[in-house]
Amino acid sequence: MIKRPDRMVTHVGETINWTLRGFHNPTGNTVANFTLVDTPGRGLNFRTGSLPAFTNGAGITYEIRYTVAGSNQWNVLISGVDASRPFTFSLPQPGNRQYTAIGFFFGTVPAGFALGNEITLTFVVGNNAPNNMLVNNFWISYDNIRRDGESPDIPIVIIPPNNDDYLDLGDGNVPMGPMPQTGLMNHALWLTSALFLASSAGLGTMSYMKSKKRKRKGVTP
C-alpha cells in the first residue's frame, strides 16, 4: 500500500503522451499474426502516434487500422509500412471523435521482434472521461494467443473545465500493481501510473507524460 499522490491531475485541452513498452515477441520463435492494439477510454482524444525502427524488423511491413465509437469495423489507415524504419502518423480529431482502438498488424515476425522498442501515442484530454479519470489499455496477440494489459491502479484525474486548479484526492491508501511505471508531469513531478504486466509471460507496460500546458477555460479541442 502506498499513499495516493495529491496532485496527479491534468486538465481538459492538455496533451498526454502514453508510451507502450515491453510488447516484443517473447517466445524465442517465429510467430504469426503478431498484433498490438491500444484501446483508449473516453476522454482520450487520439492525435498522433510515433513508432520506432523495430528490432529485427528488416523485411517486415505492417498495417495501421482503427475503430471509432459506435462501430466494431476496422478501418485501414495505411498498409505496407516498413518496420525497420521510424514512422509517425495522425488521425483526424475534430474534437468529438472517439477512436476506440488503434491497431498495428505485423503478420509473421521473428524471435525478439520489437525487443526494447517503444511506441508513443499522443492524446488530447477531453471533458467526457468517466468519473474524470483517464484510462488506457492495450493488448497483444500472436499464434491465436491474446494477452491483455490491465488498467492503472492510480488513473489520471481530470480537473473539469472552469474549476480551480486544486483537486482534493483525499488521504486514502490505494493498492499498486507489481510493476509500476512513471510519467513526467510539468517536467518536474514524477507520478506513479501505469499499465503493468498482466502475467510473467512478458506483456508490456504503459506510462504517460503530460506534455503541454492546458488551454484556458478548459476548451475541448
Per-residue model confidence as pLDDT tens for the chain (221 residues):
233 344 468 889 899 998 888 899 999 999 999 999 999 999 999 999 999 999 999 999 999 999 999 999 999 999 999 999 999 999 988 877 899 999 999 999 999 999 999 999 999 999 899 988 898 989 999 999 998 765 445 678 888 766 544 444 443 333 322 222 222 232 222 233 333 323 323 456 666 666 554 443 333 33
The predicted pLDDT at position 95 comes to 75
37: nearest Cα among 207, 203, 208: 203
Is residue 96 within 8 Å of residue 45, measured between CB atoms? no
**d(Cα 202, Cα 24) in Å, to the nearest integer?**
8
Query: Cell numbers of 177, please?
Result: 500493481
The predicted pLDDT at position 59 comes to 97
Is residue 64 within 8 Å of residue 98, measured between CB atoms? no
198: exposed, middle or buried (Cβ count in 10 Å: 0-12, 13-18, 19+): middle
The predicted pLDDT at position 97 comes to 87
Count Cα neighbours of 47 within 13 Å in the Cβ-side half-sphere: 15
The predicted pLDDT at position 161 comes to 64
141: nearest Cα among 56, 182, 198: 198
- pTM of structure: 0.75
Summarised one tens digit per residue, pLDDT across range 147-189 is 876 544 567 888 876 654 444 444 333 332 222 222 223 222 2
Instruction: Quote the mean pLDDT of the chain.
Output: 75
> For the chain, what are the domain ranges?
2-218
**d(Cα 92, Cα 46) in Å, to the nearest integer?**
8
Is residue 69 within 8 Å of residue 98, measured between CB atoms? yes
